Structure 1
């Protein structure tokens, strides 16, 4: 209302400089309209302003007041007409009206007309520092949105159906590494303004998804309202948000461990992760070394990252800062198992309106690069917040309000356009390095050899590259490369063949930049078979190269 009163007083001072003097009847009707408006009697104000406009169709002040009446009564068609007519009659009567009109065009998706109006303001009415900044920001948004709509990205969302979605809100949380289980949070309306959140899990079936069931915990206090869950890549740990557990307000981050057939009682993450403020939406890197989450500890909702210490405790959280965080709110971080692609939502980065989804790549220097908007129509004028990408790097899940849904926010799946995909995850992506101990062995599934030879197959180079990247990301690891064969042939020959194969892998890794002193090679022949050598299938599984953790 303060803005409106200022405009009315501005009009009083400008009446004497209008291009043409309105008739006395028009002025009298306008004054009555103005009086009623200041008393917030908008019905009477509109009746009188119409009389003023009928008496003088070029009465700019009356048209401007009609625009203000439309804003106050939320009749935006009336507001647009009033402002358009006012600016047409006398564009310099009150130029800031162009800013309000531009916002109305934006809400209608009329970005071209908005841009034209804002460029007019810059060329004819600039001079107020605050307004000039606003106009520049609005013009940048209008240009982006017009370009985004003119060049939409490929987007064919499929609603997960009534098995998953309901009339309540469903927010996607996580998909297991192999894509066979889906975790999501349902926000249920219990009436009288009370909402309750609960985490559900559904299993992939041949024809869709099974009926979701609430997560089963060993014990769970009734007072806690759980949500925003995230599953570790190896499936052994569940990170979740708990609100109202032992505190009057706010939320904290908890972790639960899988034991036999249920999750342990969630325990608050120790250290400086939680504060007296609000922490939510956890995401842990596939290697278990980084914890991303959202916190309001400094006012705005920002994304933070904590890294594992040598003793496996979480280190002091660091605000990601620019270019990820802004003066607005950043939410729902998701680090893909490739370890270098971060998806998140923001209401301040250049977007379509509300919260938009963005992607940032981690550079070779470890820094996050300038975020990229996922594009229209993935992003809309509404809020797109919760987002998850499967291990294949292209299958995405999104929570969004769209026509034809079950009601509220539904979960959809779709294939990401090529330019905003992450790298396809590999068998190392679900290895929690912090859980590895000396003696642990990992089968190198993508490294194969020619028959009865120590020569790598042509497609094994990708396996060498994957292993090399893993070792470079974890420079503290020293490993043994262990070669194994089946029991066909002479034992001494198999022992030498397995040793030669292990050494070939070692040399390939050294050539890729891994330090020699981190690698040893040893052959075991057929002495450590995983399966009885009683079938072709079992013998194939026994022919393998392993990486064994030394320290």
Structure 2
């Protein structure tokens, strides 16, 4: 990581020290003989890289996150580091990532700056392999406040790099580990998306729409890719697949027009409506392109309405990519689902090393603020890229070679803690089932947070293929509400496009083809949806998501009567023959049946949630208006868990509904019949979370009037 840059890191080091085998890591560089410095005078390979816990180990690779003295074969180098809290020492820990065995002497310094020789090499280079070196010594008589390592280059000639320096009073050797996500399932497997999406060519960088219905990706060198006349360049085009009703992806299509009319047309990130994407690069002249972002929309199998995204003070500098061993200008982007935040990976003058992650905030139509560095918890002297910001606008996925991992670039997750965008949880590695010894990155997750889509060459049909993997709880983003709503004239049935506002402020998009508004709500509060349209009364609808704990998809069609025609906007069925969303919309006659969609329970619990009472009070009112009415309540669950427990859960839920209806004595108990089905009568398959959500239900049937 980027170490030694800010004093607040001392607290982080102390926390780590108390947890990780009683190790206290160096917190300040006091002296050094030399350090490798690049032309930007960046933190790469500087002496500060030995501060804090390991940034590279247990991997033993050359890294910008290690101190590299300038000497190689002759003479000596040294570094002197301080520790926040003086202590007696039994164990000295040195992270040697390149050129092990060259530490000739180690001196300790007491609180009175008395020098004590703690270790001296006998001249034989006994450490042949890089890694953590645990040097045990007799416990010091006095507390040690600082250490000085003397590097004798003749002990092991060549480049040397050091990841960390620590001290401990423990007799247990410190072992470097990867900070892996908790409760990693042992049977986690990635699923190939199959021949409708994958080919013998290379499919990379998947982008799944927030609703999970569109999948965009980039494909290399396919014969149908756009290729300028006379060009011998490799080609890259954006392809798209749509999700079929049976849950499989339809054959991917290339658009009839290219985005930039060049050999390289890559998709960077996706828009909220699922029908627009942000493509890499902007056109700066006829046939000339530069780093940036261009928004385009998909309509009638063509890319239309192309416009550049304006980012204040935007710069993308070239850097030396150690993997490709060449100078490159790389940019990577992730647009938040509500399009308020733009996260990007690029090199700027204030970057800590190679690519860093930044965020810009929306300032107007297609315009964003000056990028803000996400800070040293996320960014390191190494390379951070392929960002993906989940729909909760808090959970960030990215890849990095500056945090301990398993390969060249691993995928990590971190959670934003406040609105500064510089305060994050310590990144966790997604584990060896997702990360490999090679490059891993470009993850994409729909708003449901159920699956992650990514590209990999391992177990592919050709070169790189697209895969999905089910996310386990510790790496899932927080739940959100995905809502689609529209307005129609109640008399004519024609669509209305009113002026819409939502408070607290929430961004939304309008789909011209479907006449539907789309937006994403963060749970935990109540929102007010307002609409205005000429000739219609003002519309206001309260949306209470305070108790939402799981991902929720909500669809509403509001019908509106013009002024003078009972001017009340109300929820309408989606089609003439569609099942009503509420008992207030159903036809009251024997044999009618609906799913009580506004009766809610917490997952695996039978207690009614408070927002259910409005719908249940409607049922009570209807039954009181029809004193001979007899109803049937049927309880259903999904197929997750034990079948007997599911049966009992469904039974208890409908019993709680019945008890609510009869508790004040106005409805007689014998007018309500119950039937529990558990998991045995699903409406749809139980293969996805959305399907399982539909199967968890209470059904209401009027038996007699």
TM-score w.r.t. the length of structure 1 is: 0.57
2:461 & 2:214 partners in 1: Cα distance?
21
Q: Structure 2 residue aligned with 1:275, among 315, 325, 337?
A: 315
Q: Structure 2 residue aligned with 1:93, among 123, 143, 151?
A: 123
1:233 & 1:359 partners in 2: Cα distance?
22
Is the Cα contact below 8 Å between 1:301 and 1:328 reproduced in 2?
A: yes
Instruction: State the partner residue of 2:379.
Output: 325
Instruction: State the partner residue of 2:191.
Output: 158
Deviation at 1:156, TM superposition (A): 0.8
Deviation at 1:239, TM superposition (A): 0.4
Aligned to 2:215, the other structure's residue is in SS state strand
1:381–1:168 distance in 2 versus 1, CA, 3 Å: same
Does structure 1 residue 375 correspond to structure 2 residue 431?
Answer: yes
Deviation at 1:188, TM superposition (A): 3.0
Q: Structure 1 residue aligned with 2:162, among 129, 133, 136?
A: 133
Q: Structure 2 residue aligned with 1:305, among 359, 362, 369?
A: 359
Does structure 1 residue 225 correspond to structure 2 residue 259?
Answer: no
Deviation at 1:469, TM superposition (A): 4.0
Instruction: State the partner residue of 2:463.
Output: 408
Deviation at 1:535, TM superposition (A): 6.0
Is the Cα contact below 8 Å between 2:219 and 2:237 reproduced in 1?
A: yes
1:376–1:297 distance in 2 versus 1, CA, 3 Å: same
Q: Structure 1 residue aligned with 2:208, among 154, 175, 194?
A: 175
1:334 & 1:121 partners in 2: Cα distance?
44
Does structure 1 residue 440 correspond to structure 2 residue 462?
Answer: no
Q: Structure 2 residue aligned with 1:426, among 476, 481, 490?
A: 481
Deviation at 1:315, TM superposition (A): 1.6
2:247 & 2:546 partners in 1: Cα distance?
47
> Mean Cα displacement is larger for which, 264-273 or 404-413?
264-273
Is the Cα contact below 8 Å between 1:253 and 1:280 reproduced in 2?
A: no
Aligned to 2:177, the other structure's residue is in SS state helix
Deviation at 1:207, TM superposition (A): 7.0
Does structure 1 residue 388 correspond to structure 2 residue 444?
Answer: yes
Instruction: State the partner residue of 2:303.
Output: 263
Deviation at 1:150, TM superposition (A): 12
Instruction: State the partner residue of 2:393.
Output: 339
1:379 & 1:334 partners in 2: Cα distance?
16
Q: Structure 1 residue aligned with 2:255, among 207, 215, 223?
A: 215
Aligned to 2:129, the other structure's residue is in SS state helix
1:171–1:535 distance in 2 versus 1, CA, 3 Å: closer
Q: Structure 2 residue aligned with 1:235, among 237, 254, 274?
A: 274
Is the Cα contact below 8 Å between 1:286 and 1:430 reproduced in 2?
A: no
Q: Structure 2 residue aligned with 1:351, among 396, 405, 427?
A: 405
Is the Cα contact below 8 Å between 1:152 and 1:375 reproduced in 2?
A: no
Is the Cα contact below 8 Å between 1:292 and 1:305 reproduced in 2?
A: yes
Aligned to 1:134, the other structure's residue is in SS state strand
Instruction: State the partner residue of 1:107.
Output: none
Instruction: State the partner residue of 1:537.
Output: 578
Is the Cα contact below 8 Å between 1:153 and 1:375 reproduced in 2?
A: no
Is the Cα contact below 8 Å between 1:167 and 1:407 reproduced in 2?
A: yes
1:353 & 1:339 partners in 2: Cα distance?
28
CA root-mean-square deviation: 5.2
Aligned residues: 390
1:270 & 1:159 partners in 2: Cα distance?
37
2:460 & 2:530 partners in 1: Cα distance?
53
Instruction: State the partner residue of 1:16.
Output: none
Deviation at 1:322, TM superposition (A): 2.2
2:150 & 2:207 partners in 1: Cα distance?
48
1:265 & 1:288 partners in 2: Cα distance?
17
1:537–1:363 distance in 2 versus 1, CA, 3 Å: same
1:264–1:146 distance in 2 versus 1, CA, 3 Å: closer
Map 1:165-204; keep pairs closer than 5 Å.
Answer: 165-188=198-221, 194-204=233-243
Q: Deviations over 1:19-52 (max 9, x none)?
A: xxxxxxxxxxxxxxxxxxxxxxxxxxxxxxxxxx
1:243 & 1:533 partners in 2: Cα distance?
41
1:168 & 1:534 partners in 2: Cα distance?
43
1:221–1:309 distance in 2 versus 1, CA, 3 Å: closer
Q: Deviations over 1:500-537 (max 9, x none)?
A: xx89x58x79999xxxxxxxxxx987844675899673
Deviation at 1:307, TM superposition (A): 0.9
2:180 & 2:523 partners in 1: Cα distance?
41
Deviation at 1:401, TM superposition (A): 2.7
Q: Deviations over 1:202-252 (max 9, x none)?
A: 1223373222222344x6443351113322122243101138874878532
TM-score w.r.t. the length of structure 2 is: 0.46
1:354–1:396 distance in 2 versus 1, CA, 3 Å: same
1:534–1:385 distance in 2 versus 1, CA, 3 Å: closer
1:196–1:126 distance in 2 versus 1, CA, 3 Å: farther
